Structure 1
Amino acid sequence: MTRDADRRGLTLIELVLALGLASLLVLALVKLIDTSMTLWRKTEERRSQNEMSSAVTELLASDLAAVESGPRGDLLVEWAPFDVDGDGIATLPCLRLRLVRAASAGEIERLQVASDAPVLGQGLLEVCWALLPASTAGARLEWDGVLWRGVRLYGPGAGLSLLDPRFFSSSGRPASGVLEEVTGGVLWFEALCASAGTDLSSGWESGAAREQSFASWDARGAARPDAERFVANEPGAAMSALVSPLGVQRPQLPRRMRLVFEVETARGKMRRVSTTADVGIKEGALRVDDASKLPPVGSFLLLGEEWLELLGTSGNEARVRRGQRGTRAAEHKAGAWLRHGEPSQREVVIPSQREEWRP
């Protein structure tokens, strides 16, 4: 009797309990692995995004750090609106930044070899940065921004100057093959300029007053940014070319610049939020399908061709400030995407200028 009792197996209840405990342990392990993989993917995506943004800002910062301050120097920051939703009205602003900078001997040699015609060596380069739609206006109903960069030797014999008014056509696009793609998925690109009179104690508030920073810049004071085409092209109070005692015109350069990028990542595309009702022009609250996916308060959202600032959420309702970043409030249909990107920014000091900041 004792030997048979010792050899007795598990009862049905004990077996069920053991299987239940094992299942709980397996579920907990799977949950732990899933959470770890999710965190790893987020970390890798953020790291990749940071590396890409750092590479782009580093390249642009190196261009700005070498900007020419002598009589041949130039810096032009301007905005061009595009029609993305196909309504025939161009309202979504895209930045263009063009400059003349010093070049290394290696850069001159490489471009000289690639040039079809002899170019007078002047030790300078023309550089153009431009944010453009991935397709022509009206071809698709969703913004897909691509950042481009082009370089040209300064001087005669190298073709059309990148700072020539004819470089960009009336449609806002350059000649094919002149610029090279840097990165895609860009929702926003901005380069704020601060003059000696800019007061940065309260942040980089942009406007036309002398104490504000400027969303556009014309180092030659030639009214090249078209203020009638876009409001952010309005010249600031610091826009005036300098004239030396010898009568030579020199460029008026900013003291400092702030570069701002917002890129929509692959994860950001998967977490897009859509409106669940039509949006009128005056509405300040939007009904959305999942407000928990929205970015932090104070972030900017792109709805069609209109930028919004997120003020807060309540349930699945988002309170917003309409018509931001130079865009205008517009009507939107239910089901429209609210898009947002991962922001990154960098401040660049223009070495040729002294730091004389207002307290």
Structure 2
Amino acid sequence: MNRVQGSLRGMTLVEVVLALGLFVMLGLFVSGVVRSVLGIWQTSERQGRGDLEYLAALERLQSDLAALHTGPRGWLSLDSWELRSGRENEEPWLAPRLRFLARGSGLRAVDPEGRSAVEVMWTLVPEDNSGQRISRLVRMTQPANSADSLASDRYAAAMAKTGAVMSILDGIGWFELNAIERDGRLHDFADVAPETPVDFPRSISFSIDRIEGLARTKPPQLDADLSSGPGRCQLRGPQPLGVVDTVLIEGEWVELKGSFPRMTITQRGVRGTAPISHSRDSGVLFFRRFGTKINLPSQGKRLQP
């Protein structure tokens, strides 16, 4: 009888404390798992949204190039122009610029009847005055019979600077356009004038480094001051998605290798930037890289009447 009564007694204070401790530990574990799952889901959602935005931009560029005017009137220019953010003491940097004549039948939004020709331009414009060299990918179109032509370097630059362009993608840190010739050689410059027997490039290669979301608003930070030379760097903060070998620190492009958060600096001041010292807590921008090749109509062969 006494044995039965002993088994029916309540839990001791030690047992209660141990049980509460186990419940707290279990709760912390479950909440940690939930936060991790939500973080992965949100990151995947942002990555998927970024992929869709890039694919939409790529589809538009492909559609424009598919309408390339390859007849005698057709022309194409691939060059670069200087970007200036407007911030004092900031050096300008170069951005590629693609301009060409397209058939109006392929750009009905500009030429509803599809009977004329349309001038098209793709390039970058500075996004803000942060000093980080972040740009927007923009597009401009106009009828070919306009008073001024986008083939004019001065006019094209003026239109881009005055904002007479359509924003396609923001958060662009690096942009590359190359003309691919029939022999496979790549050039960052092309000049195909109208009324000449010169053929167009066979295709155009398109590559961007883009940043968005928390990778931009809350990037990893330097855990110690960084001199202007090579060496190692310790980072702290969230691990970026899709780490690439080139990062942007306060307007300087730096090449890294290794595993996050301890990484080795292999080269400073790349992509036309100057190596400078960076203080602790400086943001380190990790970009996602996208790229493809776009074939031109008739493999770039100019059609003669």
What TM-score do you get using the length of structure 2 for normalisation?
0.83
Q: In structure 2, which of residues 149, 174, 188 is the aligned counterpart of residue 215 of structure 1? A: 188
Runs of 4+ in structure 1 off by over 4 angstroms are 291-298, 313-317
Return the alpha-carbon distance in structure 1 between the equivalents of residues 182 and 76 of structure 2.
Answer: 16
- Distance 1:29-1:330 versus aligned 2 partners, 3 A rule: closer
Contact 1:291 1:317 in 2 (8 A): no
Per-residue Cα deviation, 1:47-92 (whole angstroms, up to 9, x for no partner): 01100111111111221222121111122122223345632532x2
Instruction: Give the letter for the 2:286 counterpart.
Output: H
- Distance 1:74-1:104 versus aligned 2 partners, 3 A rule: same
Return the alpha-carbon distance in structure 2 between the equivalents of residues 339 and 278 of structure 1.
Answer: 15
Return the alpha-carbon distance in structure 1 between the equivalents of residues 243 and 163 of structure 2.
Answer: 41
Contact 2:118 2:141 in 1 (8 A): yes
Return the alpha-carbon distance in structure 2 between the equivalents of residues 86 and 275 of structure 1.
Answer: 28
Q: In structure 1, which of residues 303, 307, 316 is the aligned counterpart of residue 249 of structure 2? A: 303
Match of 1:86 in 2: 88
5 Å matches for 1:1-359? 1-2=1-2, 4-84=5-85, 86-87=88-89, 89-90=91-92, 92-104=93-105, 107-108=107-108, 110-111=109-110, 122-135=115-128, 139-154=129-144, 156=145, 158-169=146-157, 174=160, 176-198=162-184, 212-220=185-193, 248-269=195-216, 270-274=218-222, 276-277=224-225, 279-280=227-228, 283-285=229-231, 287-290=233-236, 293=239, 299-312=245-258, 316=262, 318-325=264-271, 327-335=272-280, 336-353=282-299
Contact 1:74 1:251 in 2 (8 A): no
Return the alpha-carbon distance in structure 1 between the equivalents of residues 223 and 286 of structure 2.
Answer: 14
Task: State the shift of 1:286 in Å.
Answer: 5.4
Contact 2:242 2:288 in 1 (8 A): no
Return the alpha-carbon distance in structure 1 between the equivalents of residues 223 and 94 of structure 2.
Answer: 23
- Distance 1:251-1:295 versus aligned 2 partners, 3 A rule: farther
Q: Percent identity?
A: 22
Contact 1:300 1:309 in 2 (8 A): yes
Task: State the shift of 1:173 in Å.
Answer: 5.9
Contact 1:312 1:320 in 2 (8 A): no
Return the alpha-carbon distance in structure 2 between the equivalents of residues 89 and 175 of structure 1.
Answer: 17
- Distance 1:54-1:290 versus aligned 2 partners, 3 A rule: same
Contact 1:273 1:337 in 2 (8 A): yes
Return the alpha-carbon distance in structure 2 between the equivalents of residues 124 and 352 of structure 1.
Answer: 18
Unaligned runs of 5+ in 2: none
- Distance 1:353-1:317 versus aligned 2 partners, 3 A rule: closer
- Distance 1:112-1:53 versus aligned 2 partners, 3 A rule: closer
Q: Match of 1:89, SS?
A: coil
Task: State the shift of 1:195 in Å.
Answer: 0.5
Contact 1:86 1:141 in 2 (8 A): no
- Distance 1:75-1:288 versus aligned 2 partners, 3 A rule: farther
Per-residue Cα deviation, 1:303-323 (whole angstroms, up to 9, x for no partner): 344333224469745312234
Q: How many residues align?
A: 297
Return the alpha-carbon distance in structure 2 between the equivalents of residues 47 and 17 of structure 1.
Answer: 45
Task: State the shift of 1:39 in Å.
Answer: 0.7
Return the alpha-carbon distance in structure 2 between the equivalents of residues 342 and 83 of structure 1.
Answer: 24
- Please report the RMSD computed on the Cα atoms of aligned residues, expressed in angstroms: 3.1
Return the alpha-carbon distance in structure 1 between the equivalents of residues 150 and 260 of structure 2.
Answer: 49
Per-residue Cα deviation, 1:338-359 (whole angstroms, up to 9, x for no partner): 322111111111132179xxxx
Q: Match of 2:186, SS?
A: coil
Instruction: Give the letter for the 1:134 counterpart.
Output: E
Task: State the shift of 1:250 in Å.
Answer: 4.0
